[in-house]
Amino acid sequence: MANESLQAKMAAYTAKVEKAAAKNPERQNLVPNRLYTPLDLEAFDYERDLGFPGEYPFTRGVQPTMYRGRFWTMRQYAGFATAEESNKRYRYLLEQGQTGLSCAFDLPTQIGYDSDDPIAEGEIGKVGVAIDTLKDMEILFDQIDLGKVSTSMTINAPAAVLLAMYIAVAEKQGVSADKLNGTIQNDILKEYAARGTYIFPPKPSMRLITNIFEYCSKNVPQWNTISISGYHIREAGSTAAQEIAFTIADGIAYVDAAIKAGLNVDDFAGRLSFFWNAHNNVLEEVAKFRASRRVWAKVMKERFGAQSPKSWMLRVHTQTAGSMLTAQQPDNNIVRVALQTAAAVLGGTQSLHTNSRDEALALPTEDSVRIALRTQQIVAYESGLADVVDPLGGSYYVEALTDKIEKECWEYIKKIDELGGAPAAIEKGYIQREIQESAYRWQMEVENKQRVIVGVNQFQIKEKPAEGLLRVDASVGEFQKSKLAKVKAERDGAAVQAKLAALETACGDEHQNLMPFILNAVKTYASLGEICGVMRKVFGEYEAHVSL
């Protein structure tokens, strides 16, 4: 009877909303244009469905006290030009109160080429810092104690090489590998699907990833061995549900590969982490975070039989949405990033990077980066959002939307399983097509003004050309090449060749873990390009799937 009464009230209310929306066409495309009540929740039972923070299935967060215990790690993704320049920026950020580093590498580094390779010409130091040898890594972390700082490195295809360099620098500082704390992205499947900085075919790439899992479980136990990334999937145009579904499907593939390689799931699963995008729709993003934790917990417990609660937890680093930054009226981006920050915090992120106002135009200036960092600090210390554990828990709308996104996520995972798993779905072009179609729908909505982007398709002003942008000088490339030449001239060439030969032999033996061989080569100052060149020789290179 109570439900019938509520249903009647809802019907009357919905009619009023629809009548009001009809008078304002701009609002007709927005969701929700209505009120959410217990009727929207399937078999809603507060204790059974939500539970408590820190308890399976972690809908409300992975820690019992969340930010009442400590704030999320505040990172700023940084790196440009040379190791010398980036080191200055890192130290500046740490002085400003940043609590973790997040390293951006230039494009040649990301795809395994040295700065003196012809293919690197014009790209050296442009979108991140150039790293050719261990010498560059030593300079990058000069006067930064790797035993005290948490470092995230956005590197994928050559992740094993950059991790080996980091371990070697720590050893030179007197910090043992078991004391290191941080993350490598190391997520190659999303490179094939959405981002493009791949080198090797899927099989040897998956081997390198599982080698890292195994090596770190024994030698670098506090290191997060992969950051399974939905960020770039969302940047490519996916929906919120697609972002978590395709990423969790990738995660399933990595766990499968590790188990098939002989690893015990509970030996490595607790060091897996995820990387989400924080988009503009605040409440949808909060629901996405909640749904993703619930799905991953069920995958790990029910599908893989993991026994440790740490293996069930989806721990996540978040970055605000670069694709939502506009070159028009860039100061508006400060507001966008603040809203995205609120979404990430309300969603329960463990780590956060906030984009800078000018990144749609150029690399961010120090002033812009400081504002981005201050955005996190204001949300942490002044907004009250971090004062309560899961402040939106029990919201009729947020809980209904969490259920909806979770349901869509499971439907995608089922489809991907039917196709043979994420690698097969990528090879068949399924995931790429889904992202492309979503991106097209978004763009059509913007062009038809069904979706308003302030300053872009509405509320435009006449603007002056932007001033004071950060530019990377062309001389950076020449300087980097001269440094590399000096290292090559001074190192023990015979030792380099011996370690590279040993690596080549190990690459041909599928039973060998390649991490020790890569680490040995790095310590002789073998370059990134030389090490990746050996692996290219043995493994070959990946050719992208073309959708017709």
Domains held by the chain: number: 1
Return the structure tokens found at 18.
């629809």
448-455, long-range: CB < 8 A, 24+ apart: 450/29, 451/29, 452/26, 453/326, 454/329, 454/332, 455/326, 455/328, 455/329, 455/332
Return the structure tokens found at 2.
């109570």
DSSP state of 383: S
Report whether 541 contacts 202 (CB < 8 A).
no
Asked if residue 21 is part of any domain, the answer here is: no
Instruction: Please give the Cα distance from 124 to 478 (Å, whole number).
Output: 9
Say if residue 465 is preceded by a cis peptide, omega within 30 of 0.
no
Say if residue 32 is preceded by a cis peptide, omega within 30 of 0.
yes
Asked if residue 20 is part of any domain, the answer here is: no
* Beta-sheet pairing, 223-224 with 351-353: unpaired
Q: Which residue, among 281, 229, 278, has the nearest Cα to 250 in the 3D structure?
A: 229
Q: What is the 3-state secondary structure (H, E, C) of 134-186?
A: HHHHHHHCCCCCCCCCEEEECCCCCHHHHHHHHHHHHHHHCCCHHHCEEEECC
Asked if residue 470 is part of any domain, the answer here is: no
pLDDT recorded at residue 471:
78
Report whether 529 contacts 124 (CB < 8 A).
no
User: CA separation (Å) from 321 to 1, 233, 333, 452, 459?
Assistant: 46, 11, 10, 17, 21
pLDDT recorded at residue 165:
98
pLDDT recorded at residue 32:
46
Please name the residue that has the structure tokens 């603040």: 338
SS3 at position 272: strand
SS3 at position 102: strand
Asked if residue 105 is part of any domain, the answer here is: yes
Domain at 199, CATH number: 3.20.20.240
Residues with Cβ < 8 Å from 445, sequence gap 6 or more? 29, 451
List the strands of the sheet with 100-103, edge to edge.
Answer: 223-224, 181-184, 150-153, 100-103, 73-78, 351-353, 316-320, 272-278, 226-229
Report whether 109 contacts 117 (CB < 8 A).
no
Angle between helices 240-260 and 396-418 (to 10 degrees): 50
Asked if residue 483 is part of any domain, the answer here is: no
Report whether 247 contacts 277 (CB < 8 A).
no
Instruction: Please give the Cα distance from 480 to 125 (Å, whole number).
Output: 9
Report whether 541 contacts 200 (CB < 8 A).
yes
Asked if residue 419 is part of any domain, the answer here is: yes
Beta bridge partners of 363: 470
* pLDDT tens across the length of the chain (548 residues): 456 776 787 777 667 767 766 676 655 554 445 566 666 666 556 555 677 889 999 999 999 999 988 999 998 877 888 999 999 999 998 998 887 888 999 999 999 999 999 999 999 999 899 999 999 999 999 999 999 999 999 999 999 999 999 999 999 999 999 999 999 999 999 999 999 999 999 999 999 999 999 999 999 999 999 999 999 999 999 999 999 999 999 999 999 999 999 999 999 999 999 999 999 999 999 999 999 999 999 999 999 999 999 999 999 999 999 999 999 999 999 999 999 999 999 999 999 999 999 999 988 888 999 999 999 999 999 999 999 899 999 898 999 999 999 999 999 999 999 999 999 999 999 999 999 999 999 999 999 999 999 999 999 999 988 888 877 777 889 999 999 999 999 999 999 999 999 999 999 999 999 999 999 999 999 999 999 999 999 999 998 766 54
Asked if residue 9 is part of any domain, the answer here is: no
Beta bridge partners of 227: 273
pLDDT recorded at residue 49:
64
pLDDT recorded at residue 502:
98
Instruction: Please give the Cα distance from 153 to 39 (Å, whole number).
Output: 45
Ranges assigned E (strand) in 370-424: none
User: Rounded to 5 degrees, what angle do the CA atoms 256, 262, 265 make?
Assistant: 55
Report whether 69 contacts 345 (CB < 8 A).
no
Cα dihedral 287→290→291→297 (10° resolution): 180
pLDDT recorded at residue 31:
42
SS3 at position 519: helix
The DSSP code sequence of 414-449 is: HHHHHTTSHHHHHHTTHHHHHHHHHHHHHHHHHHTT
Asked if residue 388 is part of any domain, the answer here is: yes
What is the residue range of 137's domain? 56-447
Instruction: Please give the Cα distance from 45 to 56 (Å, whole number).
Output: 15
